[in-house]
Amino acid sequence: MSPGETLSGTMTVPYLECYAEPGGPPERVPLLRLPFIIGRSEAVDHRVYSTMVSKEHAAIGRVGDRYTVKDLASTNGTFVNGRRTVEEFLRDGDIIQVANKEFRFRLPTIEETSCETTTAVEQTQLMSYDLLDSVIRGTQLLEAMIASEAVDTLYQPIVDLGTREVIGYEALSRGTHPTLSKSPIALLRLAEQCDMVIELSQLFRKRAIHCSHGLPKHARIFLNTHAREVASPGFLEALAAFQRDASIDHPIVIEIAETSITDVRTMAKIKSAVNQLGFELAYDDFGIGQARFLELTDVPPDFLKLDIALIKGIDANKPRQEIVSAVLRVVSPLGTRVIAEGIETAAVADMCRDLGCHLGQGFYFGRPA
């Protein structure tokens, strides 16, 4: 069976969804022939009435069993999920921007294929959770959220496993915008699509500092950073500007996920800059990625956070105990303090302490509040 053919022998037809009017139902534009040209000219396959769109702006084509979008040397560019592109493979659900016009690329399901139509434009109805699959609308909502600082911060304690003294708190952000999700995961996913993840990550940090005045004096504040932000050219400059907001009452620990660690030279530069600003550095989620021991030993952080997946149920899992013991043997001589995340029971807390973990975090010690 050739690519794109259904069991019944009919050809599936991919299509574009676009909104003719804000808040109205989307139009479905079948890609009846390839390449499918989008532009302002009367001769193209789908005409967009906008002076921002070139006469022949972009083309959707096919390579093997995959579909592509290609910019046709347009004036204002073609974007996929918020990022400008020259040519790119498309996945089901990708958002294509042609200047100020948006389309969602869709591959039909078998159910849709069985009732396929050859009409040029078909009205459909999207579910409510699909309505934010628009880069333009998502960007507008995120801009409003950032401008109004519509974020709350919760703090989860991090304790000394020996004394059970609270030494700090991890700041965990929640959205309060009336239209957007409260979940930081959902907000960051939308921000990635709209190319605004750095701005959102910076807002989370800013609010975490501003809301920390009620925490015990001298308690550290652990602040997360997004992988894309760490890789951005302005990351260190942003941290330097952020230093002005920090309080001497609450030392700052910058958390960088293990997956953000690129190479020894880059991490050495980041650690040096972080320490010069008076902050401390933590490697987060250690153990779920490639467990980068080279960076860990050559550029040891002040704190190492063992991922929840490694800690959960460790009291009854000998192999995990051996992994944690091995990590501790490596980092203890380097002065790195190890934090076991995701502790939910006394048995797991005791096991982590007995293995040599210095600190613990999890529902057993306190929920974010």
Write out the H or E segment, with its range, that includes residue 327: helix 318-331
Higher pLDDT, 105 or 130: 105
pLDDT confidence of residue 55: 93
* Percent of the chain at pLDDT exceeding 90: 46
Place 133 in a pLDDT band, splitting at 50, 70 and 90: very low
Query: Which of 314, 239, 224, 328 is closest to 277 using CA atoms?
Result: 239
Place 286 in a pLDDT band, splitting at 50, 70 and 90: confident
| CB-CB contact of 251 with 233 (8 Å) | no
Instruction: Say yes or no to pLDDT of 23 above 70.
Output: no
pLDDT confidence of residue 131: 38
Question: Where do you find CATH 2.60.200.20 in the chain?
Answer: 15-127
DSSP-derived secondary structure for 217-280? TT-EEEEEE-HHHHTSTTHHHHHHHHGGG--TTS-EEEEEEGGG---HHHHHHHHHHHHHTT-E
Q: Which of 1-15, 21-35, 144-158 has the highest mean pLDDT?
A: 144-158
pLDDT confidence of residue 183: 86
Q: How far is CA 88 from CA 62, 70, 159, in A?
A: 11, 7, 48
Give the span between the Cα atoms of 178 and 239, in whole angstroms. Answer: 29
SS3 325: helix
CATH class of the region 15-127: mainly beta
SS3 47: strand
Mean pLDDT of 4-20: 59
Letter string b/e over residues 88-100, b meaning 16 or more CB atoms within 10 A of that residue's CB = bebeeebbbbbbe
Lowest mean pLDDT among 29-38, 129-138, 146-155: 129-138
pLDDT confidence of residue 158: 97
Instruction: Say yes or no to pLDDT of 11 above 70.
Output: no
Place 1 in a pLDDT band, splitting at 50, 70 and 90: very low
pLDDT confidence of residue 114: 43
Write out the H or E segment, with its range, that includes residue 354: helix 346-355
pLDDT in tens, 111-131: 444 444 333 333 333 223 333
Place 342 in a pLDDT band, splitting at 50, 70 and 90: very high
SS3 157: strand
Q: Which of 73-87, 105-119, 126-140, 291-305 has the highest mean pLDDT?
A: 73-87
Give the span between the Cα atoms of 301 and 363, in whole angstroms. Answer: 25
* Fold adopted by 137-361: TIM Barrel (3.20.20)
Q: How far is CA 323 from CA 213, 329, 332, in A?
A: 38, 10, 14
Prediction pTM value: 0.67
Place 26 in a pLDDT band, splitting at 50, 70 and 90: low
pLDDT in tens, 208-266: 999 888 899 899 999 999 888 888 888 888 888 887 777 788 899 999 987 676 678 88
pLDDT confidence of residue 13: 84
Question: Where do you find CATH 3.20.20.450 in the chain?
Answer: 137-361
pLDDT confidence of residue 257: 82
pLDDT confidence of residue 175: 93
Mean model confidence pLDDT for the chain: 83
pLDDT confidence of residue 292: 64
Instruction: Say yes or no to pLDDT of 65 above 70.
Output: yes
Mean pLDDT of 340-351: 95
Residue found by looking up tokens 């628009």 in the block: 134
Which pair of tokens denotes residue 215?
């925490």
Mean pLDDT of 171-189: 88
